[in-house]
Chains A and B, each alone.
Chain A
Amino acid sequence: MASFEESLALLSSIKSEASEVDLTALVETHSALLFRLAHSLLRSRSDAEDVVQDTFLRVLERSRTMSEIRDVRLWLVRIAWNLSIDRIRRRKTRSTESEFVESLIAPGTSADRAFEESRQMHAVLCEIEHLPKSERHVLLLSSLEELDTAEIAAIIGRSEAAVRALLFRARTRLRARLEKAGTR
Chain B
Amino acid sequence: MNPDHNAVDRVLDALRHAAPPAGMERRILNTLEIEARRPSLSVRSRKTWMTTVAYCAGLFVAALISTFTIQRHSAPVVSTLPVAQAPPSNISRSSVATTPTMVAAAPTLHPHSATVQRSVQPRRVEMAQSEDMLVSHPAPPIPLTEQERLLLRYGRGGNAGDLAQISNDRKAAKEEQDAAEFQAFFAPIEIGESE
Binding site for B on A (CB under 8 A): 5, 8-9, 12-13, 16-17, 20, 23-24, 27-28, 31-32, 35-36, 39-40, 43, 45, 48-49, 52-53, 56-57, 60-61, 64, 100, 103-104, 117, 120-121, 123-125, 128, 139-140, 143-145, 174-175, 178-179, 182
Cross-chain contact B16 with A103 (CB below 8 angstroms): no
Nearest Cβ on chain B to A136's Cβ, whole angstroms: 12
Is B10's beta carbon under 8 Å from chain A? yes
Chain B residue nearest to A31 in the complex (CB): B25
Q: Name which of B36-44, B68-76, B82-90 contacts chain A.
A: B36-44
B10: nearest chain-A partner, CB-CB: A104
Closest residue on chain B to residue A28 by CB atoms: B25
Q: Is the CB of B15 within 8 A of A12?
A: no
Give A110 to B120 CA distance when docked, in angstroms: 92
In the complex, which residues of chain B have a beta carbon less than 8 angstroms from the beta carbon of A178? 4-5, 7-8
Bound: A104/B7 CA distance, A: 10
Flag if B47 contacts A27 (CB, 8 Å). Answer: no
- B40→A20 contact, CB < 8 A: no
9 interchain pairs, CB-CB under 8 A: A20-B33, A27-B25, A35-B18, A36-B18, A52-B28, A57-B31, A103-B14, A143-B16, A182-B3
The distance in angstroms between the C-alpha atoms of A12 and B41, with both chains bound, is: 9
| Cα separation A61 to B40 with both chains bound (whole Å) | 9
Within 8 A of A (CB), among B1-50: 2-5, 7-8, 10-16, 18-21, 24-25, 27-29, 31-33, 35-37, 39-43, 46-47
**Nearest opposing residue in chain B for A144, CB measure:** B16
Complex Cα spacing A56 to B34, Å = 13
Complex formed: what's the CA distance from A20 to B36 in Å? 9
Separation of A166 and B8 alpha carbons in the complex (Å): 17
Give 17 A-B pairs besides A5-B47, A40-B18, A104-B11 with Cβ atoms closer than 8 angstroms.
A5-B46, A8-B42, A13-B40, A27-B25, A28-B25, A31-B28, A36-B15, A40-B15, A43-B15, A45-B21, A52-B28, A53-B27, A103-B14, A123-B4, A124-B11, A178-B5, A182-B4
